[in-house]
Structure 1
Amino acid sequence: MNMDQIARMNSVMSPASQVQPNRQVTSHDAQQTFKTWLNDAITDVNDKQVDSQIMTERMARGEDVDLHEVMITAQKATITLETTVEVRDKVIEAYQEIMRMQV
């Protein structure tokens, strides 16, 4: 996880930091911030998957690539995908818990 991703996650945790100081955060602002963060995260996962596929194809064609670089790229792609699935599961679990609450 690079510093840009951490900064984006912090902005989701505190959407007030992206709006004017004395302005209350609206539902729309929070949704847009979360949407941007989610799109960036999914794009990052996809980019890592594509990088892994490209490195694997280059190795299969016999191009000059180091095996350890191919394995590192594949492992990064696997870890980001697994993390994304775990986060998705937690979000769904939280949503289901909220839906079970009585108002």
Structure 2
Amino acid sequence: MAIESVSLFNPVQINPTSSTPKISPFEAQQNFGDFLKSAIESVNANQKASDVVTEKLIRGENVELHDVMIASQKASITLNATMEIRNKVIEAYQEIMRMPV
């Protein structure tokens, strides 16, 4: 059984040395918005997958306990990582707002 990675983003997406062409601020906002949306959808998908296998276990269907625990931990880790990223973004925003102009 292969274990999939638990990642909110692909490291290629955040490579600062990549030679991408210049894009407009609007396109940058769109790309960033799409990135955030896909990351949140990934967290949601992990939560739903965990719920599905947990329900199967509760109903007594043929599902292994370790698969339920792996899905549950994957959902928990992605949610915790998302919350920590959110906290750091808010902290950075607050720090920028405290800067004198």
1:30, CA displacement in angstroms? 1.7
Q: Does the CA contact (< 8 Å) of 2:8 and 2:42 recur in 1? A: no
1:2, CA displacement in angstroms? 6.6
Alignment root-mean-square deviation, CA: 2.4
Q: Does the CA contact (< 8 Å) of 1:49 and 1:77 recur in 2? A: yes
Report 1 or 2 for greater relative contact order, CA contacts < 8 Å, sequence distance ≥ 6.
Answer: 2
| Counterpart-to-counterpart distance in 2, 1:87 and 1:3 | 13
User: Partner of 2:75 in structure 1?
Assistant: 77
1:40, CA displacement in angstroms? 0.4
Q: TM-score, normalised by structure 1?
A: 0.81
| Counterpart-to-counterpart distance in 2, 1:70 and 1:31 | 37
| Counterpart-to-counterpart distance in 1, 2:39 and 2:14 | 13
1:28, CA displacement in angstroms? 1.2
Give structure 1 stretches of 5+ with no counterpart: none
1:14, CA displacement in angstroms? 7.3
- Structure 2 counterparts to residues 12-91 of structure 1, below 5 A: 17=20, 21=21, 24-91=22-89
Which stretches of structure 1, 4 residues or longer, exceed 4 Å deviation after superposition?
1-4, 13-16
- Using a 3 Å threshold, how does the CA distance of structure 1 residues 101 and 26 change in structure 2: closer, same or farther? farther
